[in-house]
A and B are shown apart, each in its own frame.
Chain A
């Protein structure tokens, strides 16, 4: 079993729709949860960062962490074609190593 599971998709939605992404994990010691966006042939770019359980909102992005279920989510409201990318979840314990999901490829159709 992988430490972090993420559905690879692909996910295709019309412009303006809500994009819903999620990851599950097995290591209950994870405390830091992140979402990265990766465009083709580019490095990951940090979108959202959350410590422990709860919700965090930043513009059109909302990140949720449910530690009791070992489940994290990212929601993108009013999606735009420019949101088309691969989204990676990542998490860590109280140190510097990040454990990444395999990524979900999202296409927003104009």
Chain B
């Protein structure tokens, strides 16, 4: 049973380029969450998505950042015109969902992350 798969593991971009981070949730999971981890700081919530639907993007910067989770394929976190301050580890997590309880937060599974470095 494959876990949450993220790629690439490492991504190097120059300032002004675009970064695309991909996340495939665990099999059977329909909810995806993106978190960002800056050095010396805890993980910060960015966005919560279902298939074809953004549930909550309140943690996303208003400019340059976007996320999607299409009907087919992985979830994508896209950062346009990257700046040095975007350098961080980006983690994706997924969880199953129950209609009577909602997302099962105690069953949140994280991927190994994408380390983004902006030169």
- Interface positions of A (Cβ within 8 A of B): 4, 6, 8, 32, 34, 36, 41-46, 49, 88, 90, 92, 96-103
**Please, how many angstroms separate the alpha-carbon atoms of A36 and B43 in the complex?**
11
Chain B, interface size: which category? 20 to 34
Which of A43, A92, A99, A101 is in CB contact (< 8 Å) with B91? Answer: A43
- Determine whether the beta carbon of B106 is less than 8 Å from that of A49: yes
Known: A41-B112, A43-B4. A96 touches B43 (CB 8 A): no
- Determine whether the beta carbon of A45 is less than 8 Å from that of B43: no
**Please, how many angstroms separate the alpha-carbon atoms of A97 and B59 in the complex?**
9
CB distance from A108 to the nearest CB of B (A): 23
- Interface positions of B (Cβ within 8 A of A): 4, 6, 31, 33, 35, 40-45, 48, 55-56, 59, 91, 93, 95, 102-103, 105-113, 115
A interface majority secondary structure: strand
CB distance from A105 to the nearest CB of B (A): 11
CB distance from A32 to the nearest CB of B (A): 6
- Determine whether the beta carbon of A43 is less than 8 Å from that of B110: yes
Known: A96-B33, A96-B103, A98-B105. A43 touches B42 (CB 8 A): no
- Determine whether the beta carbon of B43 is less than 8 Å from that of A92: no
- Determine whether the beta carbon of A102 is less than 8 Å from that of B108: no
CB distance from B1 to the nearest CB of A (A): 15
- Determine whether the beta carbon of A101 is less than 8 Å from that of B102: no
- Determine whether the beta carbon of B56 is less than 8 Å from that of A44: no
- Determine whether the beta carbon of B43 is less than 8 Å from that of A44: yes
* Closest B residue by C-beta to A92: B105
